Amino acid sequence: MTKTSDRKREEERYSRRLGRHLDELKWLYMELYDSQEHWEELLAAMKQFAMQRKSSLKKLDETREQDPGWYRSSGMLGMMLYVDQFAGTLKGVQEKLDYIRRCRVNYLHLMPLLESPKGRSDGGYAVADFRKVQENLGTMEDLERLAAACHRRGISLCLDFVMNHTSEDHAWARRARQGEKEYQDRYFFFDSREEPDEYEKTVPQVFPATAPGNFTYLPERDQYVMTTFYPYQWDLNYRNPVVFNEMMYNFLFLANQGIDVLRIDAVPYIWKERGTNCRNLPQVHTIVRMMRMIGEIVCPGILLLGEVVMEPDKVAPYFGTVEKPECHMLYNVTTMATTWHTAAVRDVRLLKRQMEILSGLPSEYTFLNYLRCHDDIGWGLDYDLLERWGYRQVPHKKYLNDYFTGKWEGSVSRGELYNEDLVTGDARFCGTTASMCGVEKAGFEGDAEGMKAALKRDEMLHAFMLFLSGIPVLYSGDEIGQVNDYTYKDDPDKAPDSRYIHRGAFHWELTRKIGEPGTVQQVIFSALSRLEQARAEEPAFDAGAAFRALETGDDGVLGLERQLGKQQIRGFFNFSGEDKRIFLEPGTRWANLLTGEELEGENLLDNHGFYWLKLLQRGEKQ
């Protein structure tokens, strides 16, 4: 086939994709911006990016179009990591892909790696150049080569896309600071405090203790600029079509480097309107819907992952609808926080209620599930419900923070507070999974029994996370039980931010202990491997399987069930801190997915133990 006919076939394929979405995309765009000029510019650029897409990526697009649920299978397993802490550079990560595959990982999330100013980056979330990699990590070519190497091994690559703001060092921000009106219009600039003060009446503060207010004064200009997060992160003005278009070009540029998943950072914040709280406004959903369609037209193999750290009723709308979808995936933030609450109070009622809410959502919705990530843990729990059970919000948050920092008598957890407000007493928590489970304390004290209990708790929590519907994601280091890294306090750039306690360097020397029986590394790694293999082999773990919470009759034991066709799997998780018993329906017979042991009737579920059971024989009422 000639190059001319290849080009013609590609253009025909592109036209078909465009045709499916053109009317809706144009209607939404013109409703938001009413600019034919900018619309035509966007259309021309989209086609250019589509034609520039490499043949290998086009083939991947075609394969994924034929199997749109490719990312929802039971075999999906994610891992998130910092390039510098894990392997130094992007080339270093590529050299470590054998280890990543050894971990059974096929979805790799690289934490922010685009150009950002040292000491004023919020961990890389203040981007100065969306098309340049931080020099210490490598080059854009290195990223492209890593993506290609991942694809050859069946690994999908995820990258953060920071849409809400840029760094104050971004080229637009520098020109805006020089007084160029065109670039000031890409942000929110004000000549006096009058309008910012109007915003402040209704817009909550994200970091009231460390970055109070939503605006920063620029003395050299005698002007104010909107900065929702930190003073060096300038909010973009998506009322301006130039901003939307240019950010979509950055999105498509990254997609053409081979990125498979774009994590949209802080997505609820991207539209600002005076007189509102500037959160979750309807225009945000319009923008995400347009972004979804642009991706399906230009690079249909790409997934959108939304970071929506909100209460559950604010999260689900970012999936859009089945007919008009927005994000492909969202983080299951509330379940993560509720899991640790449950570990601390040994009462599963709130977690069970969370499972009931999730089971009521459409099966097309895909969540990313995790125990720990790069960020702190905020205790955004359902306090209306908790207060009915006697948990009052302020003292309960204090209890959780005291428990996980090890101040509460009997606690085995270790960690530090983040963004503590000394006036209100509110704070968030930082620490690794292993340290929160007691590995750090037991190791420091040489407590063999304490270590055994800590490892059991760690395995049970991972078993629960892996049982959930969606994609399980490990935080790099959790697979070998890495504990808190307190050396961040020796680095002036990191010392003020306690989140670096769980962002420490990956200890490669510990991986040599994976094969040494009885070591922390061997116990955790092998336990995770057994769980991951069992999960991958059972279709009932696919994201589309039916999922529901079970009534166990015990507030210390959580029961869950997954069903796909005639396949039925149950999980029982003992959070109580003492031995319990579970009861299986008369006449039913079950197999332990991890041991092969057959169970029926009444069974012991020991302290921090769990079962994954597969139905072998149905009872009369099944």
* Residues labelled as active-site residues: 265, 307
**483 SS3 class:** coil
Structure tokens at 369: 């599930």
Which parts of 98-253 are beta strand (E)? 107-110, 114-115, 129-133, 156-162, 165-167, 189-190, 215-218, 223-226, 233-235
Q: What residues contact residue 506 under an 8 Å CB cut-off, 6+ apart? A: 81, 85, 86, 87, 476, 477, 482
Residue type, 141: E
At 417, which helix (H) or strand (E)?
Answer: strand 416-418
Sign of the CA dihedral running 595, 601, 606, 609: positive
Region class of 113: left (phi > 0), else alpha (psi between -120 and 50), else beta: alpha
DSSP code of residue 320:
B
Beta bridge partners of 304: 262
CA distance 411 to 242: 53
Q: What is the rounded radius of gyration, in angstroms, for the C-alpha atoms of the chain?
A: 25
Q: What is the 3-state secondary structure (H, E, C) of 536-600?
A: HHCHHHCCCCEEEEECCCCCCEEEEEEEECCEEEEEEEECCCCCEEEECCCCCEEEECCCCCEEC
DSSP code of residue 486:
G
Q: What residues contact residue 484 under an 8 Å CB cut-off, 6+ apart? A: 414, 415, 416, 431, 432, 435, 440, 501, 502, 504
CA distance 45 to 246: 10
Strand-strand pairing, 261-265 and 303-306:
parallel
Residue-level length of the chain? 622
Residue type, 236: L
Residue type, 381: L
**508 SS3 class:** helix
CA distance 205 to 211: 8
Structure tokens at 501: 């306690």
